[in-house]
Every structure is written in C-alpha cells, then in structure tokens.
Amino acid sequence: MTIPRAIRPLKHSGALRSARSAFSTTSTARTTSVTLKALGLDSYNLGVYNGEWSGNGDVVETVNPATGEVLGAVQQASGKDLDHTLQCATKAAKMWREVPAPKRGEIVRQMRNALSDKIEPLGRLVALEMGKILPEGIGEVQEYVDIADYAVGLSRMLNGKVIPSERPGHMMMEMWNPLGVVGVISAFNFPVAVYGWNSALSLVCGNAVVWKGASTTGLTSVAVTKILAEVLEKNGLPGALCSLASGGADIGNMMAKDKRVNLVSFTGSTNVGRKVALTVQERFGKSLLELGGNNAIIVHNDADIDLAVRSILFAAVGTAGQRCTTTRRLFLHEDIHDTFIERLIKAYGQIRVGNPLEAGILCGPLHTKAAVAAFQEGIADVKAQGGTIVHGGNVLSHMAGNFVEPTITSISHDAPVVHREIFAPILHTIKFSNIDEAIEWNNEVGQGLSSSLFTTSPERIFNWIGPSGSDCGIVNVNIPTNGAEIGGAFGGEKETGGGRESGSTAWQQYMRRQTCTVNYSGMLPLAQGIKFE
C-alpha cells in the first residue's frame, strides 16, 4: 500500500519519516516491520471497514510507548464514513438475524481459528503498540480465542423459558431475539480482548458489530478486523457484520447519539462513561458500561503469605498497573503488616522494567506521556496528603520510553489520592485491625469492580462473599483481583457502570427479551379472572 499524496495533517509530530528512519536503524523497528507484514499491515493503513476499506478522516500515528518510535499510521473515519458504515451494518444485521444461531456459531468458530493462527504476531503487535509484555499480549489474543470457543457453544444454548400460564389452553414462553447493531467503543489497555468479548457474543446473538477502538492502538484494531473480514469474505457474508470505524471522541460521540446503534458497549473512564450513558439514554438506547476500578486486596493474619505476595505482585504490577482490575489498595492486618511489607519490597526489588518484548521483563511502559504525568501527580499527592513512598516513586527518565518504577506507598485509607483511580503501578498499603473495618474500607470508594480476600477462615470467606461483604462485581478469595476467566460475567457496580461482559448470562445484554403468549384453546379467558363481556 502506498501513501496517498493528499494526506490530512498528522495528529502526532514527526510524521512517517521518523518511523521509516527508525525502521532501518533499530532492532525494534525490524520487529515492527516483520509484525506488520505478517498481519497484512503497512506504515499507512485505512481505518474504516464495512465490506470495503476506506477512510477520509485524520491520519493518526501510533507510537511504541517503550521507545517513542512511530509504528505506523491509520486514516480514521469521518462523520460521513461512520454514517455509511452504519447503513451497511444495519443492512447486514437484517440478513444475519435470519441465519440460525448454530450457523452463526460456525462462522465465529472459523474466526477463532483464524485468530489462533495469528496469535503470535497479533500478540506481538499488542506488546509493541499498547506496551504490555509479550506474554500478556499473546495471552490477550488467547482470551479472544477462548471467548470465541465459549460463543460457539453458546450458539446452541440461547435458551428462553417456558412459563406456566394461569389460563387453560394457553402457553407462555420467553423468546430472545437480536438487537440489530452493537457499537463497541474499547480502550487502549485491552485492544483485542474487550472487542472480542463483545464481538463474539454479539455475532452468535445475531447482531452486526461496529467497532471504534482507541486511536492509540489503531493498528491492532485494523489487524483484528482484517482477520475477521477474511473469514466473512470466504463465506460470502457481508463484511459489515464486523465493521470498523477508527476515530477519536467525535466518532464515539456520534455512535452514542445514533439511533441505529441499538446497544453501545463502552469501556473506559468513569467520567467519559457517564457522558456516554446519558447520551444513549436520551434516545432510550441500551448501554453496557465497563468503567473504572479502584480494587483492593485484604490480607488477614491467617493468610498464606507466600501466595498473597505472589498474587499482589501480578495484580499490582502486571500491565504496568493499567488494567481496570489492577490492585491499587492493599489492606494488611496489623499482626502481619511489617513482615508482609518487607517481603513485598523484596519481591518488588526483583521486578525488571523494560522493553516488553524482552524475555524476563515483568513491567513494560505506561501507554502515554500523559500517563507518566498522572503517575507523577499521584506520587506528589501521596506526599502532600501525609503518605510516604515505601518503594519506587520515580520516573525512569534515563530510558527512552514511558517507564516508571512500580511503587508502594503507606497512607491513610481515606486520603483523596487513595480514592482516585490512577492508571499506573502505584499500590497504596494500609494497616487494619479487624475484618469488618477492612471490608468497610474496601467498599468506601466510588468504584466497585474487583476485590479479593486472603484468608483460611471459612467464616471470613463466606462473610466476604455474602450480603455484608464486598460490594464489587468480582469478589475473589486467595487469588488476585485481575486475570478473570471468560466463563464468569465480568463487570462491576457503582461507578464501574454495572455492565457485564463475557460469560454467565452476559449474552442477554446483546438480545431483546420477548414474553410470548399463545392461545391454542379457541376460548378467550382473561388473566386475573377478568370478565369483559
């Protein structure tokens, strides 16, 4: 693909010249070139797909957060592009809803295999563009493969209910039918998996999908769409079933406002999610919100300390603290507090920070310079609000990318900075004296996504998962707050948004429920014994 002469101004400085010069001089650039080629990408890519590739919006570069080098560019959607894409998706949805659900599942099975075939280069692209370490990048693609497996089985189990009728000669049942078009607005931190959760379930439920990924991970969005589009084309199906409309907040806002988008699934910050929800509600549309998390782990005095330390290390440092399920608060029982902190500091001291493609690296870069600034602001606020830095706390400015030290603080549970989600590897540690106090502190923040208790006491375990325990959507025992399996419903309460994705009954959000009563008696008895004669 060649770069067109008439190209709109780039949003990032340096243009593609810097990328090309870097490609020829660095090993990372060689890796980038090989990765892009394996996925059918180039240094310039069209970012709109609805059966055909196009793009008339701004051209946006994506940058490797570990090096600052430009990886490539994506031409995004204009408003007219989105309008046309929604027209195509609406038309495709009308055809797709008539295809039997198990047949729809067969297409998702083929998508699963196509994704699996590209798992290594796609996982590498996630590491390059988002910044998570390579095992996590590959693991994210595996998560899409797993949810596709789940969706294939689900396609034969989209069951309703038969409900006893009080009227003789009547049958009452529950039917589930497709919504139409599902709009997916996903975030940078999981540029493959979150779309996969939504897309796989939406497709087997009979919907077309229009996706707007994060602008900073635009190459990944294009790569995934190319894989899915090839499957659709081989089966003679409209590509608009898996449409892509790359863009920024303007495209997301248009999707939220458009009545043709029957469900808007939004993953991102609480502040933006609130605006999306209000916009969709104004037109009485449906929204599925996966927003912020301020997750806590409680370690009681009877806990397996080795297990807890290893779990917290992954929960707090994995993905450089940029998961919505990252552990940000750690409540330690006063009996074990000092010993545990010593163990944790020792474990943190063994973490290697660096190039996410390098073996043995456990913590890659933050995604953007803005995230580094938020990290610095958080550290300053900890100090200003009476806390101390127990470990880390520095920006690794000698490194080319957006690297910071995984950080441990000691601070009061009610400090304002503790109640603010900072998308960085900052872990606030707090001492508690009894379990009721710890649960109260776990629940006092605005978000309610994930939580975990480390204990060996059955009494504490069942109190923790009961009505007086954690108020989060994910309530764990003796495992980290992150790393959820696809079989359970994923999501949280309060400012986390209340949406549920992935397993359990999450599929029901992508369908409309209908209560149907069939009278086969030839008579007309009315409910509640009403006589109308």
Task: Name 251's Cβ contacts closer than 8 Å, sequence gap at least 6.
Answer: 57, 76, 77, 79, 82, 212, 245
What is the H or E stretch that residue 38 is in? helix 27-38
Query: What is the 8-class DSSP label of residue 376?
Result: H
Burial call 455-480: b when 16+ CB within 10 Å, e when fewer: beeeebeebbeeeebbbbbbbbeebb
Cα angle: 190, vertex 465, 442; to 5 degrees? 65
Torsion of CA 163, 166, 170, 175, to 10 degrees: -20
Rg (alpha carbons) of the chain, rounded to whole number: 25
Q: How far is CA 61 from CA 135, 289, 439, 507, in A?
A: 25, 28, 45, 35
CA distance 246 to 210: 10
Alpha helices in 205-324 (DSSP H): 218-234, 249-257, 270-282, 305-317
| Active-site annotation holder among 69, 290, 405, 421 | 290
DSSP string computed for 74-131: EE---HHHHHHHHHHHHHHHHHHTTS-HHHHHHHHHHHHHHHHHTHHHHHHHHHHHT-
Q: Are 28 and 69 in contact (CB under 8 A)?
A: yes
Catalytic residue status for 290: yes
Q: Are 188 and 216 in contact (CB under 8 A)?
A: yes
CA distance 482 to 446: 19
CA distance 210 to 181: 7
CA distance 512 to 180: 10
Q: Are 181 and 208 in contact (CB under 8 A)?
A: yes
CA distance 16 to 69: 10
Q: Are 447 and 293 in contact (CB under 8 A)?
A: yes
Closest to 498 (Cα-Cα) out of 432, 426, 448, 446: 448
Q: How many CA atoms lie within 13 A of 53 on its CB side?
A: 14
DSSP string computed for 415-461: -TTTTS--SSSEEEEEEESSHHHHHHHHHTSSEESEEEEE-S-HHHH
Q: How many CA atoms lie within 13 A of 399 on its CB side?
A: 19
Q: 27-38 and 119-129 helices cross at what angle (nearest 10)?
A: 130
Q: Are 206 and 193 in contact (CB under 8 A)?
A: no
Known catalytic residues are 290
